[in-house]
Structure 1
Amino acid sequence: MDDNLWLVVGLGNPGPDYAGNRHNVGHMVAAVLADRLSANFKNHKTNSSVAEGRSFPGGPKLVLAKPNTYMNVSGGPVAALLRFYSLQPARLIVIHDDLDLPFDTMKIKVGGGHGGHNGLRDIIAAAGTNEFIRIRIGVGRPPGRQPAADFVLKDFASTERSALPNLLTDAADAIELIAAEGVTAAQQKFHAP
């Protein structure tokens, strides 16, 4: 096992119909990282699309993955990736949307519950632990009485799309910092005082 190896999983739903959805913000961050690493996603035997690379020569190796399954059954591919790369869950970073955070905010968290997020629930069940790093990307609460499931399966609003690139960049920066210097360094830099 490479002790300088990190598995970074961006959660979302497969296919072009979902690409711009709030629920796919994890896929979006993974794509930003892949561009930085000049890495291309390829189908992998773990039922995921995988891209690999390093942010800088001799730096930590990032295995970027997007499960090819729907969000709610992400656990199988994530557990298979951990086994394939011989990684402990402590080397897993999961990027996901979070209704409890306002849009254009991000929080870095280690462990904890699933907070009603079915993708996280499935990963915790399949990995047998909740002790992994999460990059929580705020998408805000649905307006009025709109069901949360409908809200996250809609594209970002036009007013949100102008701020989205900076949010994705911040999340990608946080992941690179976690891999290079640890969670605490990333939390100190990216969490507002």
Structure 2
Amino acid sequence: MSFLTSGLDSELTARSLPVVQADERLQPLLSHLSHAYVGPDYNIQKTTGKISLEQIDALSVKSFPLCMRQLHKSLRDNHHLRHGGRMQYGLFLKGIGLTLEQALQFWRSEFIKGKVDADKFDKGYAYSIRHNYGKEGKRTDYTPFSCMKIILSNPPGQGDYHGCPFRHSDPELLKQKLQAYKIPPTGISQGDMF
């Protein structure tokens, strides 16, 4: 790392930058660099079946990212999520290890607590869950949404709970939510959050 830091600070690097920027071969790489995900590549096969339905509530409070915690709470409160929320949260649950059978059981039990009976769930919602697991449609085994996808695509509308709370929430409402989650005031300050 020190080599990279010293190289970036050097005069040679400063003189080379215009040459690098003018190179047509590097333009696509440089223009998309700020949108690239460089985090770990989580392989779905490594985690499938590693959590149980009984663990989800506890995990949502202590381990889920804020966007997924928000979706989980909304699902538990309203017993329903719109399509964007079901996609974002459903693929996340798949990614952390929920099997197809567990996912069907989880979503069915929650929706039945609301205004959806078992028959309506099986006809209207089960297909999309099986589709996410690659068992229906074009048989693509979908992966969870990256943070960049959550932030940049399908912004939430009225009555939606998906998206990134740091990007799509009113700053004051976000601050109240973080306070309710017992985040210390130093972690909620404007400078740290935005």
**How would you bin the TM-score normalised by the shorter chain?**
under 0.3
Select the structure that is richer in strand. 1
| Greater relative CO (CA pairs within 8 A, separation 6+) | 1
- TM-score w.r.t. the length of structure 2 is 0.25
Select the structure that is richer in helix. 2
- TM-score w.r.t. the length of structure 1 is 0.25
- Rg: which structure is higher? 2
